[in-house]
Structure 1
Amino acid sequence: MKPLKSRIGFTLVELLVVIAIIGVLVGLLLPAVQAAREAARRMSCSNNFKQLGLGVHNYHSAFKQIPMQSGGTTNANNANTPSPESDVAGGHNRFRLSWLVGLTPYIEQQALWEQISNPLDPDGDSNAPFFQSMGPSPARSLTDHTANPYQPWLTNIPTLRCPSDPGVGLPAQGRTNYAASLGDSLHHSHYGHIRDDDGLLENSSNWERNAGAACRGFFRSRSVRRFADITDGLSNTFCAGEIATDLGDSDARTRPVQAVGQNLLNNAGFTQDCNGYLDPERPQFWVDATALATLTDAEDRRGYKWAYGRPLFTAVMICSPPNKVICMGADDPGEYGVLPPSSRHQGGCHMLMGDGAVKFITESIEAGSQETARCIVFNRAGAGHGDDSPFGLWGSLGTASVGEVIDGEF
């Protein structure tokens, strides 16, 4: 009688058990891998912000001021002549450059700064026309760039991009995920103390007074600011905030909607009209785009132009807490609005403090009464300091010289 041979291999039942165990292990492992990758991306984002904070301090050491939000060059007699968008030879940028432009040599972008700070030949043929130093207006559309492209404004700078934000490509130009903090009041946030009417850029005593009272953040548009102006303390004041860039998906944090029939400067419960456009089934998104009171230009989206000082692109307002809706004024569409920070990270966003520290602020931070407060605050007449922010701890971190005391960690 022949001896029985030993069995080689698995039975069907054993194979199914092994496959089931492997499936369970993979199901347990994938979330951990994804969480680890997001943690790495979040750390990289924080490091980018720290580089910007270091750049702000190095800039201040060199020039005794912080980089200007909405600075640059202009024709004092007529800001529309020559056209800052379409004319190349003899043009200017109409005081529209963001705070990020001046930081380029301090964030390892010296080659880009050399292009910006010197005349640039758009077609490389050594013949006119040339872009003037500091470039044309960053408000240029992609159509303007088609004829005579100004490459610096179209450049995506790695330090300005959060690895968790997947936004790439057209219709954006050069994207940024980091934006200047303009404080807790949107009044004059777009122009500061310099009027921009009828093609003229001019100082006005009324505008100067109103801007001085209302523009209470670390940055003030078209104004020279120094660390000495941050009397609440650099460690207690937001310098900048993170923003998510638009993906073309009607995200309420990145696609601007207008409060139809409402002047945001006078409207208590300042985002209630815009909240009415939210999709009840997907509350992070607007309803069908055809029903929106929205800015129609596809380039008018959050973070689409890193060099443009317009608040929609490179600024945050400290009124609504992180990841709330953005809401633009109907009376002056696109120029100012309620523009909270946002991010693709879970539960909050990064904020850069004036001392260079980076804090992750959660969406649940105490932010006062969002139903009754207005995103417009003025200093009290004749007082030594301004009104306390109506937006609680969140708003007090957004003001630079109001005299609010930050008690404890945040």
Structure 2
Amino acid sequence: MEIHSPGRKNRGFTLVELLVVIAIIGVLVGLLLPAVQQAREAARRIHCTNNLKQIALGFHYYHDAFSALPRAGAGVNSAPPLVAILPYIEQSALADTYDSKMSWDAVANKDAMKGKMPKAYVCPSSPEGGKALGIIIFSSDFIGLQTSDYLFRTNAPSIDDPTEELGDTFFPYRKNSQFRNATDGLSHSILMHEQAGGTEYYCGKRKVEYPFPLPGGSPWIAPPGTQHMQVQCVDMGGYDVNNYAGVGGVINITNAYIYTPYSFHTGGVQTTMGDGSVHFLSESMDIYVFSYLSACNDGQVVGGDF
């Protein structure tokens, strides 16, 4: 027998109450989502830092073994820097498949390296990280090869006169260098910096769509070309009207085929110095300061924590 309390009746939520609850949940999710995204990016940035530290250690181990750093413009009888350090970042099996008696673009070497780039060369914040290059406008040598999100500098051009060099980098083109050449100090000279998303071309954080395939970087087994400091994004209609270059900046403007510092982190790029330390360089860094850090023996020592 059911007993009903007088004056009391069972009822569910009204439509208004349900809408209020849903609205509150939506507000909470809206508040939490940015925090979750920030936490994820912080984790990716730590991972990126660890990648750069591992690569820097690989170069130091290589230097200990050969009393010099690998040549940037490797041809026959030498391997490109990111290939040369493979045995020193626990990738000996992959290193054994590369024949240093042939150039990097020999069919056997390209076939051996396609799809095999170490994960340590990929920034987890890069949306195209580890993606292989397809057909591009100016070369068929790159097809199927991946681009590294980390770049070693081969030259340090003067800002005032791009035809002049400020000094040497750790990887001067077609000659070996030693850490002792860094008279500015290992902790004040860039060993590598991010140049991410190389399978696509970005202006700011916007992907630029062309009617023909155009990448931002070159294959990880290829020596990079001449590196520049004077940068400006180029879009279909000519120079980008938004002028991402601004005044005096060089970081995160573009990842175009001129090898400037670029990342998908907010506010700057990760950089490892000659001593293996990793620093986050701000987008607000002056182009002159970055150029002084790029050369290891120009006599322009940048103090502070950058």
Q: TM-score, normalised by structure 1?
A: 0.59
What is the CA–CA distance in structure 2 between the aligned matches of 1:110 and 1:319, rounded to whole Å?
A: 38
Letter of the aligned partner of 2:299 in structure 1? G
The question of whether the paired residues in 2 share the 8 Å contact of 1:182 and 1:219 is answered with yes
User: Aligned pair in 2 of structure 1 residues 170, 57: CA closer, same or farther (>3 Å)?
Assistant: closer
**Using the alignment, how far apart are the partners of 1:135 and 1:158 within structure 2?**
26
Paired residues, number = 270
SS at match of 2:85: helix
Match of 2:216 in 1: 302
Match of 1:190 in 2: none
User: Against the structure 1 CA distance between its residues 134 and 108, is the aligned structure 2 distance closer, same or farther, given a 3 Å change threshold?
Assistant: same
CA drift of 1:8 comes to 4.1
CA offset digits 1:123-174 (Å, max 9, x no partner): xxxxxxxxxx32643336xxx67xx962224412101001111212441512
Q: For 1:4-403, list aligned pairs within 5 A.
A: 4-73=7-76, 97-116=79-98, 133-134=99-100, 136-139=102-105, 150-167=111-128, 168-171=131-134, 172-185=144-157, 216-248=168-200, 250-252=201-203, 284=206, 289-290=210-211, 298=213, 301-311=215-225, 317=228, 321-325=250-254, 338-367=258-287, 391=288, 393-403=289-299
Separation in structure 2 between the aligned mates of residue 54 and residue 63 of structure 1, nearest angstrom = 14
Cα distance, 1:245 vs. partner?
2.1
Q: Equivalent residue of 1:150, what SS?
A: helix
Match for 2:71: what amino acid? M
Deviation at 1:301, TM superposition (A): 2.4
Distance 1:149 1:243 in 2: 22
Give the unaligned 5+ runs of structure 1: 75-94, 117-132, 187-209, 254-282, 291-295, 329-337, 368-390
Measured in 1, the distance between the counterparts of 2:254 and 2:195 equals 12
CA shift for structure 1 position 214: 6.4
CA pair 9-285 structure 1, distance change in 2 beyond 3 A? closer
Mapped to 2, the partners of 1:71 and 1:246 lie a distance apart of: 21
SS of the residue corresponding to residue 215 of structure 2 reads: coil
> Take 2:156 and 2:172, find their aligned partners in 1: how far apart are those partners?
12
1:240-263 residue CA offsets vs partner (Å, 9 max, x unmatched):
111112354x4247xxxxxxxxxx
Decide whether the 8 Å contact of 2:184 with 2:296 is kept in 1: yes
Secondary structure at the aligned position of 1:67 is classed as coil
CA distance in 2, matches of 1:318, 1:107: 30
Distance 1:135 1:38 in 2: 42
Structure 1 window deviating more from structure 2 (399-408 vs 22-31): it is 399-408
Q: RMSD of the alignment, in Å?
A: 2.9
Percent identity, aligned pairs only?
A: 36
Contact 2:255 2:262 in 1 (8 A): no
Q: Deviations over 1:348-368 (max 9, x none)?
A: 11111000011111111022x
- Judge conservation of contact 1:138–1:305 (CA < 8 Å) in 2: no
Distance 2:303 2:96 in 1: 44
Pair 1:357–1:3, CA change in 2 (3 A): same
- Provide the TM-score with structure 2 as the length reference: 0.78
Q: 1:395 to 1:214 in 2, by over 3 A?
A: closer
Q: Structure 2 unaligned runs (5+)?
A: 135-143, 232-249
Residue 225 of structure 1 and its aligned partner are, at CA, apart by: 0.3
Q: Give the AA of the match of 1:362.
A: S
1:356-389: CA deviation from partner (whole Å, max 9, x where unpaired): 011111111022xxxxxxxxxxxxxxxxxxxxxx
